[in-house]
Chain A
Amino acid sequence: MVNNNPKTLLDKIWESHVVYEEESQPSILYVDLHLIHEVTTPQAFEGLRLAGRKVRRPDLTVATADHNTPTWDRAKPITDPISKQQLTTLSENCKEFGITLYDMNHPLQGIVHVIGPEQGYTRPGMVIVCGDSHTSTHGAFGSLAFGIGTSEVEHVLATQTLRQFKPKSMEIRVDGSLGFGVTAKDVILGIIGKIGVAGATGYAVEYTGEVIRSLSMESRMTICNMSIEAGGRAGMVAPDKTTFQYIEGRTNAPKGEEFDKSIEKWSSLNTDVGAEYDKLVCVSGDDIEPYVTWGTNPGMVVPVTEVIPDPEFFDNLQEKESAARALKYMGLKSGTPISEIAIDRVFIGSCTNSRIEDLEAAALIIQGRRVNANVSAMVVPGSYAVKKEAENLGIDKIFKDAGFDWREAGCSMCLGMNPDILDPGERCASTSNRNFEGRQGKGGRTHLVSPQMAAAAAIAGHFVDVRDW
């Protein structure tokens, strides 16, 4: 039966992937691309073996080793035997089941959410899943992409489908324009600050509006990436010329006539006029400022020009207690200006902000300057391709000359599963996505910022407003 009602982008992708549905049951949804990494898959492969099952579509499955990989010289051995075992297990599983693997010695290795788009695997209209909550990143291409647990990874490996209830749809419209020094990271931090860390729970978010249209693919990925920090099931941006230009020529993208045909198909992937979202949130780009998180979740955020808030002014008892506990953990006092907070470490990296655009922007800030004597700063490119491109552009030299550590690719100190961690009490300006307690190392204190803000803080030794830089 043809349904001619106006549809949202979510409706269009969803409907074209339903394999089977029955009333009051989750739909069986086809998966076009299954990305996997070493942390959330060993138990899934073991489950397959125990049940005597195969990977249904190894050709639609792509693996990378990213979470545990050390960012020091790759020639050095991995010192943590358990990390090593997890990486070896991934290699063995990929070999046994015939899955393409970007292991830590592969020249194109990188963070799963960086190499997916970069190598042309990620394309508009796809359903993409991965055992990783930041899978929402890929929605920047107009795909429906979301994180799943290990049992669901096993389900996708065995069936190439997932059982899913359709999420509700939310439009987050960002109109106007962004001021000087304001980035995609600030847009998403501002949105999370406004709607809260559970503001989008149960929804697939579609970002629309002039600001989103004007952004590069890298910036759109930064925004979609952190949709999960607002609780969103997925984040999406309808594909346009910017999207097609990014995809063209990528290794695994369609070529020639096939590419032209794809563009035709992809161009219909937008929300129809008259289609209704379940919820609408409007944000003015002109109101967005460079932000800094002060607490232990990404919703605890203020503009760099402000002060640490007073828990007494929060809405209810639980929020007050939560804010007070966060300040205690963070070692901060209400009323302290953000710009007076001194930092010990700077981390530029993660699937949120480790792409070439991020590194270029940070490099512009630090060019010709030196990292503050009290600060230890590092850059971890999102992939080897990013690293190589940066080195070709001479960006590595700018970082190294300023006193930054220039590392190998991986997730690194975003979650510290490899040796890159904060010591207890250390304070870090980080371009990553989570400032949870202990996230970057037990007792470590994380402030989430844009690459520009992190770079400026590295030089100054405390937070500064990049607009005054």
Chain B
Amino acid sequence: MEPFKILKGKTVPLDRVNIDTDQIIPKQFLKRIERTGFGEFLFNDWRFNNDGSLKKDFILNKDIYRSSSILLTGDNFGSGSSREHAAWALYDYGFRSILAPSFADIFYNNCFQNGLLPIILPKEKIIDLIDESINNDGLELTIDLESQVIFNINLEINIKFDIDPYRKYCMLNGLDNIGLTLQHIDKIEKFEKLKN
């Protein structure tokens, strides 16, 4: 996993609530056995017409938002299916961080396993950022994970955010959870002996 330290990128506002993982990556694309290549199918039914052409009115398809790496969205993002393909698709498309008032649990966990940083901000802050993003044709933000702050170039925006210290540590260092757990293999063995 790539370490996540500082991200400078453009935002795209997807102002909807309860976006489920079936929308993020529809089921017909879950049949692949690789982790990569899901980006082209991200939000497939919202991005593409039946003939494969782009739906021009969908926000991700607007030219000014094409190179965005920060997604601004509504409550309960990533609800529904546990498919990690949703996190893979967002990452593969180019997103590195998602800002929302709340996330669904399994999706939230999946993001951290893939170097995709989900940040929970108060609803009013998200609404302000969405407005700013629309008014400025894609607001440019910097996310500094080490100091847990989001800001723009003139510091008119300067938002502190919370993150669990363990998850932060793993993200900053791009750490593999399995490797960390295997450091405790003696305790797992002992637990299994006691259990039997």
Q: Mark A38-57, 1 if CB is under 8 A from B, else 0.
A: 01101100100001010010
Name the residue in A80, A89, A231 with the highest tally of chain B Cβ atoms < 10 Å from its Cβ.
A231
A280 contacts B by Cβ under 8 Å = no
A148 within 8 A of B: yes
Whole-angstrom distance between the Cβ of B36 and the nearest chain A Cβ: 9
B174 CB–A CB distance under 8 Å: no
Contact B33 A19 (CB under 8 A): no
B18 touching A159, Cβ below 8 Å: no
CA distance A381 to B35 in the complex (A): 32
Q: Considering the complex of A and B, which 9 residue pairs feature the smallest CB-CB distances, nearest first?
A: A151-B113, A42-B33, A149-B84, A149-B110, A147-B82, A198-B76, A82-B31, A150-B84, A133-B82
B84 neighbours in A (Cβ, 8 Å)? 40, 43, 131, 149-151
Which residue of the partner chain, among A68, A146, A161, A318, contacts B181 with CB atoms under 8 Å? A161
Cβ-defined contact, A30 with B191, below 8 A: yes
Stretch of B19-27, B54-62, B135-143 lying at the A interface: B19-27
Query: 15 new A-B pairs (CB below 8 Å) besides A39-B31, A149-B82, A198-B102?
Result: A28-B184, A28-B188, A30-B192, A42-B33, A42-B34, A85-B33, A149-B83, A149-B110, A158-B182, A161-B188, A163-B180, A297-B18, A322-B17, A416-B27, A434-B20
Measured in the bound complex, the distance between the Cα atoms of B105 and A454 in whole Å is 31
B30 at the interface (CB under 8 A from A): yes
Tell me which of A214-222, A257-265, A352-360, A437-445 binds B.
Answer: A437-445
Across the interface, name the chain B residue whose C-beta is closest to A84.
Answer: B31
Contacts of B17 in A (CB 8 A): 318-319, 322
The count of residues in chain A whose C-beta lies closer than 8 Å to any C-beta of chain B is 66
Specify which of B106, B180, B188 is in contact with A30 (CB 8 Å cutoff): B188
- List 26 contacting pairs A-B, 8 Å CB cutoff, sorted by A: A19-B188, A20-B184, A20-B187, A24-B166, A40-B84, A46-B33, A46-B35, A68-B31, A133-B106, A147-B82, A149-B82, A149-B109, A150-B85, A155-B178, A159-B178, A159-B188, A197-B18, A231-B79, A233-B105, A318-B16, A322-B16, A415-B22, A417-B28, A424-B50, A438-B26, A438-B45
> In the assembled complex, which residues on chain B have CB atoms less than 8 Å from the CB atom of A152?
109-110, 113
Give the CA-CA distance A147 to B84 in the complex, in Å: 11
Q: Is B165 an interface residue (CB 8 A)?
A: yes
In-complex Cβ contact of B34 among A26, A28, A43, A416 (8 A): A43
Distance A193 CA – B78 CA, assembled complex (angstroms): 19
Task: Find out whether the CB atom of A198 lies under 8 angstroms from the CB atom of B32.
Answer: no
Q: Which residues of A contact B191 (CB under 8 A)?
A: 19, 30
Assembly CA distance A239 to B50 (angstroms)? 49
A28–B182 CA distance with the chains assembled, in angstroms:
11
Kindly state the separation between the CA atoms of A451 and B187 in the bound complex, as whole angstroms.
Answer: 47
Q: Is the CB of B113 within 8 A of A149?
A: yes
Q: Is the beta-carbon distance between A417 and B75 smaller than 8 angstroms?
A: no
Q: Does A171 contact B (CB under 8 A)?
A: no
Asked if B188 and A133 make an inter-chain contact with CB atoms under 8 angstroms apart, the answer reads: no
Contact digits for B100-116, partner A, Cβ 8 Å, 1 yes 0 no: 00101110011001100
Whether A231 pairs with B104 at a CB distance below 8 angstroms is yes
Question: Taking the complex as formed, is A132 at the interface, i.e. its CB lies under 8 A from any CB of chain B?
Answer: yes
A166 to B188, CA, bound (A): 19
Q: Tell whether, in the assembled complex, residue B82 and residue A131 are in contact, meaning their CB atoms are under 8 Å apart.
A: yes
Name A92-133 residues within 8 Å CB distance of B: 131-133
Q: Is A201 a contact of B106 with CB atoms below 8 Å?
A: no
The smallest C-beta distance from A416 to any residue of chain B, in angstroms, reads 6
Residues of A close to B106: CB separation below 8 A: 133, 146-149
Whether the pair B188, A43 counts as a contact (CB closer than 8 A) is no
Could you tell me if B104 and A163 are in contact, using CB atoms closer than 8 angstroms?
Answer: no
Complex formed: what's the CA distance from A416 to B27 in Å? 7
A226 shortest CB reach to chain B, Å:
11
Pair A436/B102 contact, Cβ less than 8 Å: no
A24 x B165 contact (CB < 8 A): yes
Check if B45 sits within 8 Å of A442, measured CB to CB: yes
How far, in Å, is A155 (CB) from chain B's closest CB?
5
User: Is there contact, CB below 8 Å, between B195 and A318?
Assistant: no
Q: CB-CB < 8 A to B18: which residues of A?
A: 197-198, 297, 322
Contacting pair A19 B184 (CB below 8 A): yes
Residue A154 is within 8 A (CB to CB) of chain B in the complex: yes
- Smallest CB–CB gap between A272 and chain B, Å? 23
Interface string of A11-26 (1 = CB under 8 A from B): 0000000011000111
Known: A40-B82, A149-B87. A437 touches B178 (CB 8 A): no
Indicate if A202 sits at the interface (CB-CB under 8 A).
yes
Contacts of B34 in A (CB 8 A): 42-43, 46
Q: Which residues of B contact A26 (CB under 8 A)?
A: 166
A161 CB contacts on chain B under 8 angstroms: 181, 188
Residues of A within 8 A of B22 (CB): 415, 434, 436-439
A133 to B80, CA, bound (A): 7
Asked if B27 and A417 make an inter-chain contact with CB atoms under 8 angstroms apart, the answer reads: yes
Q: Is B74 an interface residue (CB 8 A)?
A: yes
B180 proximity list for chain A (CB < 8 A): 163
**B177 at interface, CB cutoff 8 A:** yes
CA distance A68 to B29 in the complex (A): 12
Taking a contact as CB atoms under 8 Å apart, the answer to whether A82 and B45 are in contact is no
B90 to chain A, nearest CB (A): 13
